[in-house]
Amino acid sequence: MKKTSILTVLTIVLVFSSIGAAYAQQEEMVLPDYWDEFFSEPIMYNFFINNEQTDYTMGRPYINKDMIVMVPLRVSVEKMGYKVVWNNNIRTVIIYNDQSMYILKINRNRYYSRYNSSAVLSKEPVIRESRTYVPLEFFTTLMKIDAKIDSDGNLLIQY
């Protein structure tokens, strides 16, 4: 009888101590900076620029760990008639046409546009699978064009 009660108490202590350890491990878990690169989910909807579906070989929009929609930059702005220049030495992208210019530095959350105006957005530009991605708000805030996800889940950029 005494052995049974001691065994029962030890079993309960062991169970509760392992549960506490499991909860402690969950609380201490910190996602690494490269989480976006490996665990972000692609948007499984169509991506349209001026009602024309984009070619996904140039990158596919995805949602990052902070629930920010990240859009492939080159395919988006080239369809709008912009030229894109990549400077690998300073990891900077320059986007320009006759009227506008935008400068983005990879992993720096300050975006510049013509006439020295700048903005801090929800996420800095990042490189994923050799493509530069920017938050969807880059188009609405800096470029001042309509960019949204419609009720059907389609990503639409209208300029």
Range of the domain at 21: 1-30
pLDDT tens string 67-109: 899 999 999 999 999 999 999 999 999 999 999 999 999 999 9
Answer yes or no: are the C-beta atoms of 106 and 126 closer than 8 Å. Answer: yes
Look at residue 62 in the predicted model and tell me its pLDDT: 86
Tokens standing for residue 31: 């996602």
Q: Do 6 and 63 reside in the same domain of the chain?
A: no
Answer yes or no: are the C-beta atoms of 123 and 70 closer than 8 Å. Answer: yes
- Count structural domains, the chain: 2
Q: Do 16 and 44 reside in the same domain of the chain?
A: no
Whether the pTM exceeds 0.85: the reply is: no
Look at residue 6 in the predicted model and tell me its pLDDT: 55
Dist CA 159 CA 142 (whole Å): 13
Q: Do 70 and 106 reside in the same domain of the chain?
A: yes
Residue 7 has pLDDT above 70, yes or no: no
Residue 43 has pLDDT above 60, yes or no: no
Better-predicted residue by pLDDT, 118 or 93: 93
Residue 152 has pLDDT above 90, yes or no: no
Q: Do 24 and 80 reside in the same domain of the chain?
A: no
Q: Which residue has the tokens 């369809």?
A: 79
Residue 120 has pLDDT above 80, yes or no: yes
